Each structure stands twice: as C-alpha cells, then as structure tokens.
Amino acid sequence: MEIGFVPNRRTLKVMGIFGPSLYSGDFAMDLRTSISAVVRLPFEPEELVQILGRSNPSASEDQTNEEHTTFWLVVADQFAKRGIFSDRVREKALAIIDSGEDIATLQSLGMDAAGVRRRLKTLGDLRARILAWHASNKPRNVLRKPQPLLMQIGDVLIYPTCDGENINPYYPSKEKNIHYTKSGPTSWIQNGWGAMVIVDAGRAFEFLAWYRSVTLSETRDQEPSLDSLRGDLLWRLASPGTCSATHFRKMELEKIGIFPINGEKVKQEFPGLRPGISAAAQDISIANSMKSVPPGTAIPNPGGKQKWRSPTLPGIESLLQNRP
C-alpha cells in the first residue's frame, strides 16, 4: 500500500472556496486514502466501518463536526464503488442526504447558491448509487497474512539526503525526484547523509505494519558508521509511519547495525507515546518523518516543551540497554 503523505485534517473550507464535488476537500481525499488501506483487512464490512470510525472519532460521531457528513458520504461512496455492503453506512448516508444535513453544513461554512446547486446534483447521483448498492459477489483483494516487519526495534539505518531531504519514494525514480528550494524546483542530488534508529514497531489490527524512529536531527557530510552515531548528537523523535519494501528500496535505506534499545527507557524519555495504529490505517509513510537540517542548525527541544516541534534527545545512549 503506497498511498502518500496524509496531512493534518482540515475542514472543507480552503481560503473561502468550497467545492461541490464529494472530494473537493482535503479531508475527503485523505479519507479515501484511509479506506483504500483499511478495506484490505480481512474483516467483515461492519468491522471495517468501526475501524474507520475509530481513526476519525470526531468526524464520525460528532454531528456538529464540519466533516461529519463528509465522513459518512465518502465511506458510502467508496464502499458502494467497491461492492462492500454495510446497512449502517447506507442508512446513515441516506439520512444525511434526505435531511439536507450536508447542504446545511456547507451553507453554514459559506457555500454560495451556485455551489449548493452543484452539490445537490452530486448528492443526487450519490443517492442513486447508494440505492442501487449491493454486495459484490467478487471476493475482496485482502491481505492473506500480516505484513512483514522490514525493520526491527534497534535497527540503525542510514540514507542519502539532499539539503536534508530524503529521497521521496512516491516519484518513479530518484532521477525524477524534484527538490524544492527557495530559488525554485531543482533535481535531487545527494549532498549528505541521514540516519535513524527504530525505537518501536508493530502491526495495527494484527496486519498493517508500522514503525517509529528517532532521526538524526542534522545531516552528516560523510557516510555514518555505527560508532559515529554515538556520543553528543541530537536526535529527534519521529512520527510513526509505514514502509513498504518498495519504499525501503527507493529511499536507499541501509541497515548498518543494531543499537540495543530499551523499551522502558524509550517510554521514560518520551512519555505518552501511542502505537502507530492511525498511521498504519491511513498508510502515512515513514518517509514524511526522515528530514534533517544542515549541521549546526538543529534546535534542541528536550521533553517536547516547544509546541509544534518534535521532542529531541541529546545522544542515543540514554535509550540503550547497557546504560545504568
């Protein structure tokens, strides 16, 4: 499952402009991505709906949430197109359409009359599709076994960078990877090295693999060795993410050794960590959390006290088994 970066959820309103399409907003497009991942789980439709709801609790349950109607309409649309039948989704989506709840939400957000007319046409088409919806006789393409864990806790990996940016695995090749600078887009050309250590890993719903790392905050000019990554170096706690075998290869990840990570010490250094279930359900790639900055420019953030910045660690030794 290689779907791409999933940004933070936003409302349908973007700079005061609304789209009448069901997929005009970021949330709808991101939810479609999540559905593509979740429907590969070998579970019954109602359980898939529960998983999607738990991944988006406010949107799915809170009727005052601006994305509530979009959640149920997108799930209905995607399930209908895939032949995955759910009584709950069907009834909820029809109720939203027939009650005018979706239109009322969009009008409260500022949609104009022309947009409302086009949205009503969209909803009419969706309603007809829902009424014709039935379970497909064709078996779903589901995972037959849990995804393999390509990286284990303690694995130390290095990778090439360009001005701190790792290779974007969503491009067809490294040669076609575009690197964006203040002067405009340029070709991605390696001029440094990054490194990360896997500090947690697991499977969401016993099937979807996810990983969490601490990432070297500053790039290195020379290819790092295992010993060179010890000592007084700043590390940044990364967000959890997924990594397919294809992404692993495209980012040119190379395992150079193992650090004996102590799970309890990880919890002590970074309290409140949660498993990467949401990242796995949404298939958010670990590629989004591997960026570094030039040497001498990283800003320490011990304990995560600085808002909007990841917590940092002044040396990997504090996470290792052999440290008293």
* 243-296 residue pLDDT tens: 999 999 999 999 999 999 999 999 999 998 989 998 998 889 999 999 999 999
CB 92 within 8 A of CB 125: no
List pLDDT tens digits, range 293-315. Answer: 999 999 999 988 888 889 999 99
Please state, in angstroms and as integers, the Cα–Cα distance from residue 102 to each residue in 25, 248, 307, following that order: 14, 41, 34
CA distance 110 to 57: 25
Q: Are strands 178-181 and 165-166 parallel, antiparallel or unpaired?
A: unpaired
pLDDT band at 18 (very low <50, low <70, confident <90, very high): low
Q: Find, among 212, 248, 234, 211, the residue nearest to 317 by Cα.
A: 234
Q: Find, among 289, 295, 294, the residue nearest to 310 by Cα.
A: 289
Alpha helices in the chain (DSSP H): 26-38, 45-55, 57-61, 68-82, 87-99, 101-108, 113-131, 245-250, 263-269, 277-282
Q: Find, among 146, 144, 148, 185, the residue nearest to 165 by Cα.
A: 185
Tokens 């030794």 map to which residue? Answer: 317
Model pLDDT, residue 13: 36
List pLDDT tens digits, range 93-111. Answer: 999 999 999 999 999 999 9
CA angle in degrees (0–180, nearest 5) for 313-314-320: 75
